[in-house]
């Protein structure tokens, strides 16, 4: 256990096709491709209720929790959502966590929509590492995937993060067959041009519409072969044994690409990630069906020692592997938008 991912809010301002796909564009895609096989896809809006503010962990509770996890061996923290920049005064939390002894890496993942509004405060607070989601460089396709017409804003904010001296600046792209797989090479060229790290990620079954199908997963092997046909790739050594991405530098450039293939090349055996939801539940796997309640312990007056021992027991029961693509797969109630990536 070395990596803790903390969801700051379950609120979001995108409706990404692979996470919250009940949009007209998504429905048209799924119906056209799979309706002949007897499948159907509804555009009925999801009854979504945000967590009331009193159920969200406070920044003080998060800081205390991080301190406990650090003493258990955690040294990497990633702030996620929903969209974490929708949480008020997130820079204040960043400043608190940056100063905690034992944290080697503090990062934040965002869709980039309103990064420019908070970028200065975040950088001043000490944030150095940031990851943006960018699944398409085509305006119409970006809008179809995310439900928002703001590609230029996101690209501009990626450049802003780089110009502010944040490093590394990473960009995640979830690749889905017949949606954006035709942009694989273009996205790699973007990594070269903008001097960022581009991570291609296989589509996982964590969307709220339960529309995931193996047929639309683009395997990491296929992504790699296509990139090798267009670029000379120089392998990079993993930073640590729990690295999820296979990484390459594009020869003659500073651009880096990585492929994260949890579906076809599962890395469960060396996964060291623990997730904390915005309402204080622990998830030991993205596919977890159980969510032990840490908030109850924090607000019930339990000592750090009691909580530490409780966390040890929870982590000891971490799943051996996920069951993505297997008949026995049972999807969790929460979608990726609430789990925090």
Q: What is the DSSP letter of 120?
A: H
Residue 6's nearest CA partner among 278, 272, 244, 243 is 278
* Helix (H/G/I), strand (E/B), else coil: 260: strand
Question: For residues 15 and 316, what is the distance between their CA atoms, to the nearest angstrom?
Answer: 35
User: What pLDDT is stored for residue 213 in this prediction?
Assistant: 73
Residue 77 has pLDDT above 90, yes or no: yes
| Comparison of pLDDT for 81 and 150, the residue scoring more | 150
| Tokens linked to 175 | 């690749």
- pLDDT digits 0-9 by tens, 38-64: 555 554 545 567 788 899 999 999 999
Binning pLDDT at 50, 70 and 90, where does residue 215 land? confident
Indicate the pTM of the whole model. Answer: 0.88
User: What pLDDT is stored for residue 336 in this prediction?
Assistant: 60
Query: Which range scores top for mean pLDDT: 283-287, 289-293, 301-305?
Result: 301-305
3-170+270-339: in CATH 3.20.20.70: yes
Which alpha helices (H) appear in 109-182, and where do they start and end? 115-125, 139-146, 151-163
**How far does Cα 76 stand from its chain's mean position?**
15
Instruction: Report yes or no: 262 and 322 within 8 Å, Cβ to Cβ.
Output: yes
Contacts of 88 (CB under 8 A, 6+ apart): none
- Mean pLDDT for 108-126 is 97
DSSP H or E stretch at residue 185 = helix 184-194
Instruction: Report yes or no: 188 and 195 within 8 Å, Cβ to Cβ.
Output: no
Residue 237 has pLDDT above 50, yes or no: yes
User: What pLDDT is stored for residue 2 in this prediction?
Assistant: 82
Binning pLDDT at 50, 70 and 90, where does residue 24 land? low
Residue 331 has pLDDT above 90, yes or no: no
Instruction: Name residue 217's beta-bridge partners.
Output: 176
CB atoms within 10 A of CB 164: 17
Instruction: Name residue 5's beta-bridge partners.
Output: 78, 275
Instruction: Name residue 3's beta-bridge partners.
Output: 76, 273
Question: For residues 241 and 272, what is the distance between their CA atoms, to the nearest angstrom?
Answer: 9
User: What pLDDT is stored for residue 258 in this prediction?
Assistant: 96
Question: For residues 155 and 183, what is the distance between their CA atoms, to the nearest angstrom?
Answer: 15
* Helix (H/G/I), strand (E/B), else coil: 341: coil
Beta strand pairing call for 256-260 and 246-250:
antiparallel
User: What pLDDT is stored for residue 242 in this prediction?
Assistant: 52
- pLDDT digits 0-9 by tens, 146-186: 888 999 999 999 999 999 999 999 999 999 998 999 999 99
């Amino acid at each position: 256990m070395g990596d803790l991912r903390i969801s700051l809010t379950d609120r979001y301002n995108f409706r990404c096709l692979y996470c919250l796909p009940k949009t007209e564009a998504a429905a048209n895609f799924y119906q056209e491709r799979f309706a002949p096989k007897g499948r159907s896809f509804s555009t009925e809006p999801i009854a979504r209720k945000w967590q009331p503010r009193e159920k969200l962990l406070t920044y003080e509770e998060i800081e205390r929790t991080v301190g406990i996890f650090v003493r258990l061996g955690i040294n990497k923290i990633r702030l996620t959502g929903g969209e974490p920049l929708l949480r008020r005064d997130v820079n204040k939390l960043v400043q608190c966590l940056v100063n905690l002894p034992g944290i080697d890496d503090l990062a934040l993942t965002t869709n980039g929509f309103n990064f420019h509004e908070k970028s200065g405060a975040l950088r001043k607070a000490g944030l150095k590492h940031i990851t943006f989601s960018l699944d398409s460089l085509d305006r119409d396709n970006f809008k179809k995937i995310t439900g928002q017409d703001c590609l230029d804003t996101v690209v501009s904010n990626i450049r802003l993060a780089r110009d502010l001296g944040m490093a590394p600046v990473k960009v995640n792209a979830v690749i889905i067959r017949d949606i954006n797989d035709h942009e694989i090479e273009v996205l790699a060229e973007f990594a070269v041009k903008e001097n960022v790290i581009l991570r291609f990620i296989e589509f996982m079954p964590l969307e709220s519409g339960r529309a995931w199908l193996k047929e639309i997963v683009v395997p990491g092997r296929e992504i790699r072969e296509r990139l090798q046909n267009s670029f000379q790739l120089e392998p990079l050594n993993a930073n640590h044994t729990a690295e999820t991405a296979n990484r390459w530098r594009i020869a003659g450039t500073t651009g880096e690409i990585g492929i994260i293939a949890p579906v076809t090349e599962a890395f469960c055996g060396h996964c060291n990630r623990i997730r904390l939801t915005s309402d204080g539940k622990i998830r030991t796997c993205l596919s977890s069906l159980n969510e032990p309640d840490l908030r109850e312990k924090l607000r019930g007056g339990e000592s750090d020692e009691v909580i530490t021992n409780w966390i040890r027991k929870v982590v000891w029961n971490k799943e051996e592997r996920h069951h993505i693509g297997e008949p026995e797969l049972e999807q969790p109630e929460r979608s990726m938008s609430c789990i925090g990536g």
